[in-house]
Amino acid sequence: MAFAIEAVELRRVALPLVMPFRASFGTESVRDVLLVRARTAEGDGWGECVARSEPLYSSEFVDAAALVVRDHLVPRAWPARAPEEVAPLLRPVKGHPMAKAAVELAVLDAWLRTEGVSLATYLGGERDRVDVGVSVGIAPSLDALLGEVSGYVDAGYRRVKLKIEPGWDVEPVAAVRGRYPDLAMQVDANGSYTLADITSLAALDAFGLLLVEQPFGDDDLDAHAVLARCLSTPVCLDESITSAARAVEAIDRGACTIVSIKAGRVGGYLEAKAVHDACIVRGVPVWCGGMLETGIGRAFNLALAALPGFTLHSDMSPARMFYACDLVEPTFDIRPDGCIAVPARSGNGFPVVPDRVADATIRSWESDARKRTS
């Protein structure tokens, strides 16, 4: 029987974080997650939307994502008979990459489960494990930061990323570097600097960082190119990279020499693979960014990071680091070699636990293909 979506369910789930996560754009204590479940005759597929409650990381936010998925994306996605058909069907809708990615993911997961294929195999993944790094939020004090970092190093992480912002940059980086002279380290500013801060950013060159991520605003490729010429530390872009075409433009304009890939930010896993492919031919290394996903989204990221161009550590801490109760079981952990195994099971590789999803659900909505009128 041909693959067909029979119904789509949307769930809004609230998951408290074990510890609040602070970045320059805000602090998150409860993850407000939108889940999309595509039902087919053969089984269900799940997608996680990485939009947040407020439009602070990017312009998307969960209320809007739920609405656009329900009223504009699901009605267009019904005819999809294979995952590659989803993005073209959704293309007439402008913007909303995170919402689109969640719909594509649900269809992709259902299709892969039907076909008995793992996401890593489908995408062309070549590794069976990925190097994992941890992202450390802006801490209340240097002591608190050092305590947190030492916990991560003891847990087996081989690379840390420190969140920075003006006023919390050189000092925390110097403190961690002083304690761990050989630890692989990078920093992420989430666009909180301007070219007027170039002196503090240049001071980071002294600490042997792997990269400085997104110091300036999303649209400011020129400022990143100026900084890249002044710094010996490589400049990496995250928020600025919204598609494969944009990645090519950023690289060609000298705005970055490393790219962080997030499927939600670029509208789906197939576009994420296109970003990867564009970077690989230009000799630009990539790594997989994280957005505090539950095990559902994390599993997809793991499969993506199995592609050959992902040569740097990815933000891939196990979801149990963020959530007391993850939505998948079994879930994954860090191995003694500091890596995480890429799932080999079909679909995203980790079974969703429906009871846990039900317990955390604050709102749900269902749409049935048979009742569709347009």
Residues 65, 49: contact at Cβ < 8 Å? yes
Q: Which of 5, 36, 57, 60 binds ligand NPG (CB under 6 A)?
A: 57
From the CB of 370, what's the least distance to ligand NPG, in Å? 37
CA separation for the pair 199, 221 (Å, rounded): 19
Q: Which stretch binds ligand NPG (CB under 6 A): 106-114, 140-148, 284-292, 340-348?
A: 284-292
Which residues from 1-40 bind ligand NPG, rule CB under 6 A? 23
- Phi, psi of 292, rounded to the nearest 5 degrees: 50, 45
Which of 109, 188 has the CB closer to ligand NPG? Answer: 188
Q: Are strands 235-237 and 258-261 parallel, antiparallel or unpaired?
A: parallel
Indicate the residue type of 26: G
Does the footprint of ligand NPG cover residue 261 (CB under 6 A)?
no
Q: How far is CA 195 from CA 119, 212, 233, in A?
A: 41, 14, 16
CA separation for the pair 338, 350 (Å, rounded): 20
Task: Please give the size of the binding site for ligand NPG, defined by CB under 6 A.
Answer: 13
Which of 57, 111 has the CB closer to ligand NPG? Answer: 57
Burial class (CB within 10 angstroms; exposed 0-12, middle 13-18, buried 19+) of 116? exposed
Rg (CA), the chain: 20
Does the footprint of ligand NPG cover residue 49 (CB under 6 A)?
no
Which of 169, 238 has the CB closer to ligand NPG? Answer: 238
Which residues from 300-319 bind ligand NPG, rule CB under 6 A? 315, 317
Does the footprint of ligand NPG cover residue 291 (CB under 6 A)?
yes
Neighbours of 82 (CB within 10 A): 12
Q: Which stretch binds ligand NPG (CB under 6 A): 4-12, 100-108, 148-156, 289-297?
A: 289-297
Over the window 217 to 246, marking each residue x when it contacts ligand NPG by CB under 6 A and - when it does not, the resulting string is ---------------------x--------
Residue 66: partners with Cβ closer than 8 Å, 6 or more residues away: 10, 12, 34, 365
Which of 237, 360 has the CB closer to ligand NPG? Answer: 237
Q: Which of 40, 118, 135, 348 binds ligand NPG (CB under 6 A)?
A: 135
- Phi, psi of 307, rounded to the nearest 5 degrees: -70, 150
Q: Which of 48, 104, 131, 188 binds ligand NPG (CB under 6 A)?
A: 188
Residues 130, 286: contact at Cβ < 8 Å? no
From the CB of 4, what's the least distance to ligand NPG, in Å? 34
Which of 131, 188 has the CB closer to ligand NPG? Answer: 188
The residue number with the shortest CB distance to ligand NPG is: 290
262 has catalytic annotation: yes
For tokens 């020499």, the residue is 257
Q: What's 147's DSSP letter?
A: H
| Torsion, CA 253, CA 255, CA 256, CA 257, rounded to 10 | 40
163 has catalytic annotation: yes
Catalytic residues: 163, 262
Q: Which residues bind ligand NPG (CB under 6 A)?
A: 23, 52, 57, 135, 188, 190, 238, 289-292, 315, 317
